[in-house]
Amino acid sequence: MAELTYREAVARGIAQEMERDNDVVFLGEDVAAAGGVFKATEGLIDKFGPLRVRDTPISEQAILGAAMGAAMTGLKPIAEIMFSDFIAVCFDYIANEFPKSRYMTNGQVKCPLVVRTGNGGGSRFGAQHSQSVENWAMMIPGLKVVAPSSPSDVVGLLAASVRDPDPVIFFEHKSLYATKGEVPDGEIVDQLGTAKIVRQGKDATILALALMVPRALEAAEKLSNEAGIDCEVIDVRSLVPLDMQTILTSVAKTGRLYTVEENPRLCGWGAEITSIIADEAFYDLDGPLIRITTPHIPLPAADNLEDLALPSVDRIFAKIQTTMN
């Protein structure tokens, strides 16, 4: 068992899959010699050489076009888009090309690739470099969408993504890169479409993703200690496939549901989950379905305004305490 940072786990996860399978290649802007702008891919060029770890031009369309061509001809590329905001530049590949290739060729052409990208706020990068855009990818049929919150999940879910026959958008949270956690030795392979209960509880269920998971856990401990409210916290981890069984089972036990979402409120991932709960578990509920989100605004660059916009431990605590009472 080793303690790794989230960014070190990224490099370990990529290396694990490249060592296992010579068809896995890695490409992106400044990912090789520079080790990535977030230093999440340091050392890979030394291990695997310039044929398998390639720096690309500053062109998101070129990166994903090359990745798609490689995937269609038998390789298993991992492509990095530096900031998730920039997938808007190459959205045609993500919306129209990757997810539809198998369908439109009747299974003759597959597109097994992973797009890694730095997602989310909290790092003072401003409105064009801080968005949480997992709901952009979640809406597209044919894509799988993953957002890990811990170093061990980074390794395991990245391995599962690389081995999956379909295209996967892998959202790494920029504000988690420096966080640490224990990662087991040896090969780690997780399973897509599985949520994880990270805190047991009986009074309310809190769903969270990526950076919001540690905040939800801290708020849950505070609620237990200061308000006597025992919350179950679920790390959603995978938005597509979505593990509704774990969520529905928890809601049946607690009778209350809160989502903690970093994405703007309109059309966030929690809206989809709460609509499913309303359809399938309405009579299990003891209160309204409540979403704690970022307002529907561009994320500010100013420290105090960015902190105010993102769901905080105090806001999660206050909202749950008030509504539970």
**Active-site residue list:** 129
**Distance between alpha carbon 307 and the CA centroid of its chain, in Å?**
20
Q: Which residues of 37-72 are buried (b: 16+ CB within 10 A; e: fewer)?
A: bbebbbebbeebeeebbbebeeebeebbbbbbebbb
Helices (H), 42-180: 44-52, 60-72, 91-92, 101-104, 134-138, 151-163
Residue 319's nearest CA partner among 271, 257, 275 is: 257
Q: CB under 8 Å to 228, separation ≥6 — which residues?
A: none
**CA pair distance 227, 220, nearest whole angstrom:** 10
**Which segments of the chain are extended strands (E)?**
2-5, 24-28, 53-55, 76-83, 114-119, 144-146, 168-173, 180-183, 196-199, 204-208, 231-235, 238-240, 257-264, 290-294
